[in-house]
Amino acid sequence: MWVDTHCHLDAAEFAADRDAVVARARAAGVVLQVIPAVEAANFDAVRELAQRHGLAYALGIHPLYVGRAADEDLERLADELRRRRDDPRLVAVGEIGLDLFVAGLDLERQRRFYLAQLALARDAGLPVILHVRRSADLLLHGLRRVDVPGGIAHAFNGSDAQAAQFAALGLRLGFGGAMSFERALQIRRLAAVLPEHVPVLETDAPDIPPQWLYRSAAERAAGARPGRNEPAELPRIAGTLAGLRGWTPEHTAAVTTANAFAALPRLAALKAGPSS
């Protein structure tokens, strides 16, 4: 049994074959996916997909979307968290965080939305799913100010010290397709040496394709179709983690699933799959 802790199943890239994507994932043993929202406009979409397919979802406003978000969207998020508080498929507040990689973003607005959403997660008793891109220290600062019940630092690519601090605050660290690239030295080293209770698996599909799906700029220019990532790739991604740690596939599945359930406790009750 595999758990994809981060998949944007609502993305336009899946519009033509979304049901088949879910079916392929289940055939590959990926029985649960977490679908995080990125803005208020897709709150309903992620919830409805989770309900339809027996998956899980998170509600939040992504740092790349706060520039076009209205201040009232935070109130809408608060209202949705209250309305859905008894929905077992709502497992986290996310995807939220900070992005210091993309040029031209308003950092102060990002920080305001991030801290406000941490407070909403705290008040709702929900863990968080964090977007971490060149922003680990600022995210940690926020987590020390606002005590949330754990969660996941998604697509983690920080230092050893930062990894230890997230773990000390009760968060697990997400590893996906980037780990499959031999040049991703720090990610691969962290994946190999972190305490066993820390790593969880994710695809971030349709993004962050693993090495075997990646197309270079030259290949794309020559007409090669970009490789779309999807949840069915998770077991092969897991094989990278198993190889780095010297684990069997069975042990890798058991450990990463247990870690996902610890990070997002409501997931455990969903493991039987879709309900009637």
**Is 147 among the annotated ligand-binding positions?**
no
pTM, 2 dp: 0.96
**Is 73 among the annotated ligand-binding positions?**
no
Domains of the chain: residue spans and CATH:
2-270 (3.20.20.140)
Peptide bond connecting 95 to the previous residue in cis, omega within 30 degrees of 0? yes
Q: Which residues pair with 23 in a beta bridge?
A: none
Average model confidence (pLDDT) for the chain? 96
Per-residue pLDDT tens over the stretch 67-123: 999 999 999 999 999 999 999 999 999 999 999 999 999 999 999 999 999 999 999
Amino acid 225: pLDDT: 73
- Whether the per-residue pLDDT at 276 is higher than 50: the answer is no
Which of 29, 8, 60 has its CA nearest to residue 204? 8
Per-residue pLDDT tens over the stretch 44-68: 999 999 999 999 999 999 999 999 9
**Is 154 among the annotated ligand-binding positions?**
yes
Per-residue pLDDT tens over the stretch 191-206: 999 999 999 999 999 9
Percent of the chain surpassing pLDDT 70: 97
Q: Is 213 helix (H, G, I), strand (E, B) or coil?
A: coil
Give the phi and the psi of residue 101 in degrees, each rounded to 5: -95, -45
**Is 53 among the annotated ligand-binding positions?**
no
Model confidence band, residue 266 (pLDDT cutoffs 50, 70, 90): very high
Which of 57, 63, 15, 3 has its CA nearest to residue 35? 57
**Is 204 among the annotated ligand-binding positions?**
yes
